[in-house]
Structure 1
Amino acid sequence: MQQELDPLDRRILQALQEDASRSTAEIAEMVGMSQSPCWRRIQRLKDEGFIRSQVAIVDRRKVGLNAQVFVLVKLTMHGRQNLDEFSDQIRAFDEVLECHVLMGGYDFLIRVVAADIDAYHTFFFDKLSRLPGVQEVNSVISLSEIKSTTALPL
């Protein structure tokens, strides 16, 4: 059974969201506790699934992924099998960073990155539009990012 988060847990999680490369000693100092109990709390937060992973966030533009496109997809059939098949296939595409099942006029919202619009064009025609069951695709190109964060409001 998962424990509830107390204020110290929340401060630890906030510190890790800001910079997960900080040492346990640095985090302990930031939240006002000693290193050993802080380490145990971090381990518990990992064990209980509050911390899923610790990663480096790479600037997509610095690695040549200059186009970001939000894609709305509607399937021809809405049975559970069709949703599962589409989900399984979309997971295999490296260009897809996120995929969400929707309620409403579309079935999926997908966030795609590509080198440029030509690369997205290739992705669209060679991969996405060829998936079985795809009825309609509406692509929205992001001109600029106003806010992008992975930090949850704790």
Structure 2
Amino acid sequence: MAQQRELDSYDLRILAAWQQQGDMGPVEMSRHANLSPSQCSRRMQQLRSAGYVAKVAAVLDAQKLGVGVSGYVLITLRSHEVSWLDAFHNRIAAMDEVLECQALTGADDILLKVATRDLASFNTLLRELLVAPEVATSRSSIVLETLKSTTNLPTRFANG
């Protein structure tokens, strides 16, 4: 990994544009960053080498894939022993319906973001979680409407 450097306004424009369209090449990027394609190519490679781009992925259409229900599940674990945590992590890693899993502070230990076909498959997922020996309790909420959904991080904090 290259040495961390201060990002300038051109780098921030490149990163912001990349978040909107991850497969953008230097020619198209040059229109967003107001730089020549060769300068964009060099900067894009430097930003990749420095680790500013974690990965590039396509955002798929949930409806076309038959994913009709999304929700959140709050979980309290029975134990925080390493063996229990490892077993839970392995269980969650094997469930493709689990999109995100975060460890939390506060009363609940884990927050899951999940996506399933329908209410029946959401219920099946909840049952799988509830019978897991590592899980003490769970609470769930189904998403009724998505008001905002983005993978874009705010770039304004980059140099602060």
User: Which runs of structure 2 are paired with 1:1-154 in the superposition (5 Å)?
Assistant: 1-125=3-127, 127-154=128-155
Unaligned residue ranges in structure 2 (runs of 5+): 156-160
Q: Say whether the 8 Å CA contact 2:74–2:111 is kept in structure 1.
A: yes
3-state SS in 2 of match to 1:99: strand
Q: TM-score, normalised by structure 1?
A: 0.92
Q: What amino acid is aligned across from residue 150 of structure 2 in structure 1?
A: T
TM-score by length of 2: 0.89
Partner AA of 1:144 in structure 2: E
Cα distance in 1 for residues equivalent to 2:153 and 2:122: 29
CA contact (8 A) 2:103 2:109 kept: yes
How far 1:4 sits from its partner (Å)?
2.6
Query: Could you tell me which amino acid in structure 1 is paired with residue 33 of structure 2?
Result: V
1:144 CA drift (Å): 0.8
How many residues were matched structurally? 153
Query: For residues 80 and 98 of structure 2, what CA distance do their matches in structure 1 show?
Result: 21
2:42 and 2:86 map into 1 onto residues whose CA distance is: 39
AA partner of residue 102 (structure 2): H
CA distance in 2, matches of 1:45, 1:83: 35
Distance in 2 between the 1:4 and 1:92 partners?
39
The residue identity in structure 1 corresponding to 2:151 is: T
Q: CA deviation at 1:33?
A: 0.9
Q: What is the CA deviation profile of residues 80-124 of structure 1, one whole-angstrom value per residue up to 9, with x for unaligned ones? A: 443333123211110000000000000000000000110111122
Indicate the percent of aligned positions where both proteins have the same amino acid: 37
